[in-house]
Structure 1
């Protein structure tokens, strides 16, 4: 099965996109897209650098499916959060 030109353009530039805050993780995600022959070089495709929970995340197009995983590391310079051991009840 082959895609027509319009379907291929949509697959390349408007299907897979995201945002990542950690530079090394962003590079890995972009390499994965490249290995699967997907565009990573414009504002509507690839993985942008930023924080999706801030205003930066508002630049992403609407999503019909979101894949995510919890953060496994800590930010450099991370310190204990004041509510970590005394949660608000």
Structure 2
């Protein structure tokens, strides 16, 4: 069945690319900040991060995250309704 649909999908994807509307994944190789570097060697302005205060790469924030992982592990492994809320929240 896919063999019948594949050419149609490929044509549609190509038309999206031709229109300049295809979104390639951007691989970021630096910490999130106002400027970021990609794996293509480009430096770009970052208007889409939730890092409003620029704290995501701050050494104290990173150390606090590492300590939380040491003491509590990585995540709840499920939603709060099922597992409960950890004391650090």
Fold-level similarity (TM above 0.5): no
Relative to the length of structure 2, the TM-score reads: 0.22
Which structure has more relative contact order (CA 8 Å, sep 6+)? It is: 1
Structure having the higher helix fraction is: 2
Query: In terms of Rg, which structure is larger?
Result: 2
Relative to the length of structure 1, the TM-score reads: 0.22
